[in-house]
Structure 1
């Protein structure tokens, strides 16, 4: 099984989705956005959150590729933003430990 960082960095998504996520990541607030996405209280640690977000994103990607009528591009972008935001938090916490 790949580690989380590898799973995040190997995500290949259409340029429009990736670009939209990059624009939104600076506004990401885990206490607001992650709580809404995961519907969890208390919020999980970043590593667990990323695993759950990657599973949700994988489902969104499957729906996109299969042209499922329930696919939401906005939801997909929201998931990509949350993954990038949580990855930043994980990286920052690793740097603090050094």
Structure 2
């Protein structure tokens, strides 16, 4: 499985505070660990299919990570709150 962090993801992470940035990075690393192995997907990661190939990981109440999972490629696209994710999906 291949993983790619899009430039828009990197830009969106910069809008968070230092502690939140670390939490987002840890959530992304956990997702990579789970998706790259045969581990069961668990609810503790807050993993949810949203629309088509788009999935989200919830990290706490505010922070969410949007990624696209197509075959063996996972593209991390956006980190933001519920409204940021909703706005992005509305525009695709």
The two structures have a TM-score, normalised by structure 2, of: 0.34
The two structures have a TM-score, normalised by structure 1, of: 0.33
